[in-house]
Chains A and B, each alone.
Chain A
Amino acid sequence: MSAGPRPELVADGYSAGRPRWAQLATSADHKDVGQILITGALGFLFIALVELALMRIQLLVPENTFLSPVAFNRMLSLYGASAVFFFALPLVIGLFYYVAPLQIGARGTALPRLGQVGLALWVAGATALYATFLFTPSEAGVNPLAPLSEVAFLSNNGVDAWATATGLATLGFVLLSINLIATLKTMRAPGMAWRRVPVFAWAAAVGSWLMAVIGPVLLAALTMLMIDRNYDGIFFADGSGGAPLLWQHLSWIFYTGTYMLILIFAFGAIAEIVATFARKPLFNRNVVMACLAAIAVIGTLAWMQNMLTAPIGIGWMYFAMLMSLALIVPIGLVLFNLIATLAGGTLRMRAPLLFATGAIFAISVGLASELCHSLVAAAWHLKNTTDSTAATHFALVGGAVFGGFAALHYWFPKMTGRTMGESLAKISFWTILAGLLLGFVPLFFAGAEQGQVVDAYKYFAGTGVTAYNVIASIGVFVLFVGILLTILNAIFSRTNGPEAGHDPWAGDTLEWFTLSPPEPHNFDVLPDVRSARPLRDIRVAIGHRSRRSERAAARESQPVA
């Protein structure tokens, strides 16, 4: 596949001047920043899994003493922060940041230095989180609810470090998102109206707007927490004008928005993948695009779904239920359109499509279970049981692991010029699927049936949950192996994978029009965009022309007389 006209100047043999790592460390190029985020995210995925595995060993048998209560709470806090702020969000935002500018035919980004600062802040956050190993990690859990997070109850610096780490990372995400918003708004190729923007780039726009809204909410909450802890503040302290529930509102707005952001990312990536591998256009683009925006708004407004057992008015609870159940419509429509796109196609069952179907499956199971948590009285039973752990993990492993890996396998050839090993990808997929089912289906039962509570460092014999926990622990190890296989696959394929060419999947969108990996300026030339599938337009035009020239050749070869 040629990449169009190239300058004739030969530059081979001239060194780049600086080593590759120095280039990467100082680059503001969206592709370098995106790749660092994606690579870092996969590293933290591994670390998060180690932490999850340690907790699952502790929960293997009743009243186990493998981890002390304090060690367990530290693992829990580190796992939550790693999974959300240092795996899921950077993977999602990194892929948006790498791919979306290419998809819209931009030769760079609008505010590259802003994104570079964003990356630096994220790295600083990651450093702050894991530097806590030198003193004391936070013990306050995945979402450190005030007042447990206040200095009166946890006086060491763990919570301060947690707040610093997540705050720096969040500020980084906001800066990266602002750059994406500006880029997608101002740098689209000639002819690419919003209605012709690839769905994944649209998801990037919606996701970036969402992060620009929810990020500052968490930053505000973290600032208040830091003032409370270090400067005798009273924001979340009761009795002196503060309100512990304020923390819950602010933090759940962020966490719920993040949940939606991961889903929006996954739906955007899956939409590209199903269309490409079914060789059909998305069944109804406009509806999918409208639904992604609706998910961002309605989903985030459902934040109080997490507070249905808190002392808030029943009206607020019904509002949370209304917003959660309203999500059935846009999410249902998106899933319907994704499956309808596959129908009638000629499906090539390659790794990206395999992971994408896994994502649709896991997200469906996870969100359908979340539905039970949205019915107020049912939530009064299910809240904070392992059933909620299972539902969240199905939806978010579906979105960030299956969805993220689908996107990784799909765009890996663009980033490296090589495809990821196909058979290893398939083994990895089935292992992850088995691990997810074994690891989290038992928790549905342990939670809904036996009421096992979340976040506890032990459970007791005779409560009917031992068997479920044994299976879940084994499942998490299977999941670990499956995910590790994909990470190893990515590492080896980077240098040793089969060469992919510039457009291995016959994609319809502009990122496949450039070299793999792309040059720093992305594109030498750009086609005029006349539809949502500019590359297919070119293929069709070439097809017509070659048929015409075949006919002309045939006429010329006819005997004249």
Chain B
Amino acid sequence: MASHSPGTDQIDTLLWIGIVAAAILIVALVGALLYVLRRYRGERGAEPRQLLGGRALQFRVAGVLTLFAALLFILGVVFTDNAREEPSTGDAGLASLKSEPLKIKATGQQWLWRYDYPNGAFSYYKLVVPVDTAVELEVLSTDVVHTWNVEDLARKADAVPGKTNEVLFSADEEGVYGGDSATLSGQAYAAMRTEVEVVSPEEYEEFVEAQNEEIDAAEERVVGLIENGETP
């Protein structure tokens, strides 16, 4: 994973904190286990001392573990809160937005993502967003549960029918970022992918314009065909 958004920076950091904490626990436990297994080997001989652990020792161990867990919890809350923060649109971003994030609907359906832009344009499979701009995705589903997942830009979010999930990001670099849906949604689940193309604000404006014109033209064609009594 290569992070390209302020939110994923926070996710990345917390992930590393988790990996370090897990490594500490694994090394401590497995190390102690291996040491004890090597040190106290003995097939025969007298019964060893019948040692029992006192309450004080147990409390000390419990105390250390509690501190460890509490520290992780606090770090977890701090970094999660940071990751949820709404990013701000920078100077290179879409100027027309002011303080509002760019609101786009991402709708999952078996087995395709549809994106609806503020001006009525829409696109399938590929989402085009301007660089350095706060984007708010409303993640929806029309059929089964899907998970929108473009890990370089944002968190995973489940698309659950009847519910709205929210994803915030602001891409720091132009480029194409791919992702696979992450919840089993039926036969073509593995092929249900999506792409986010991050472009300059001018290119974005051109894209939604062109998309709108194409959609209108297509609609006109269809309406024309129907009026002529042909099947579209």
Contacts and interface: CB of A to CB of B under 8 A. Distances in A.
A188 interface: no
B118 interface: no
A375 B51 contact: no
B77 to A, nearest CB: 6
Interface in A322-355: 322, 325-326, 328-329, 332-333, 335-337, 339-340, 342-349
A364 B29 contact: yes
Nearest to B44: A346
A283 B144 contact: no
Given A309-B147, A329-B66, A346-B42, A381 B184 contact: no
A511 interface: no
Residue with the greatest number of chain B CB neighbours at <10 A, chosen from A328, A332, A335, A453 = A453
Interface string A134-166: 000001110001111000011000000000000
A329 B60 CA distance: 11
A35 interface: no
Residue with the greatest number of chain B CB neighbours at <10 A, chosen from A153, A309, A458 = A309
Contact of A245 (B18, B69, B163): B163
Interface in B50-105: 50-55, 58, 61-62, 65-66, 68-69, 72-73, 75-77, 79-80, 82-84
Contacts of A43: none
B45 A375 contact: no
B170 to A, nearest CB: 16
A348 B50 CA distance: 16
A279 B50 CA distance: 8
Given A145-B145, A377-B10, A73 B76 contact: no
B37 A357 contact: yes
Interface in B156-191: 156-158, 160-165, 179-191
B222 interface: no
A70 B187 CA distance: 6
A554 interface: no
Q: How many of chain A's residues touch chain B, expressed as a range?
A: 35 or more
A342 B189 contact: no
Interface stretch (A236-244, A249-257, A426-434): A236-244
Given A139-B186, A336-B61, A372-B19, A147 B37 contact: no
Contact of A281 (B14, B52, B75, B190): B52
A371 B21 contact: yes
Interface stretch (A114-122, A382-390, A399-407, A490-498): A382-390
B162 A244 contact: yes
Nearest to A451: B151
Contacts of A310: 158, 160, 165
B43 interface: yes
Contacts of A364: 25-26, 29-30, 33
Nearest to B73: A325
Contacts of B51: 280, 283, 343-344
Interface string A421-453: 000000000000000000000000000111101
A380 B83 contact: yes
Q: How many of chain B's residues touch chain A, expressed as a range?
A: 35 or more
B181 A453 contact: yes
Interface string B192-207: 0000000000000000
Contacts of A488: none
Contact of A328 (B68, B75, B163): B68
B155 interface: yes
A328 B69 CA distance: 6
Interface string A510-524: 000000000000000
A280 B14 CA distance: 42
Contact of B180 (A239, A322, A456): A456
The 5 tightest CB contacts between A and B, nearest first, are: A238-B162, A380-B155, A372-B18, A346-B42, A456-B190
23 contacts: A69-B190, A73-B187, A139-B186, A147-B161, A153-B144, A309-B158, A311-B164, A318-B80, A346-B42, A346-B47, A347-B41, A348-B42, A357-B37, A364-B33, A371-B18, A372-B18, A377-B80, A378-B18, A383-B156, A384-B147, A384-B183, A453-B181, A458-B190
Interface of B: 1, 8, 10-12, 14-15, 17-19, 21-23, 25-26, 29-30, 32-33, 36-37, 39-55, 58, 61-62, 65-66, 68-69, 72-73, 75-77, 79-80, 82-84, 110, 139, 143-145, 147, 149, 151, 155-158, 160-165, 179-191
Interface of A: 69-70, 73, 76, 139-141, 145-148, 153-154, 238-239, 243-245, 278-281, 283-284, 287, 309-311, 314, 317-318, 321-322, 325-326, 328-329, 332-333, 335-337, 339-340, 342-349, 357, 360-361, 364-365, 368-369, 371-372, 374-378, 380-385, 448-451, 453-459
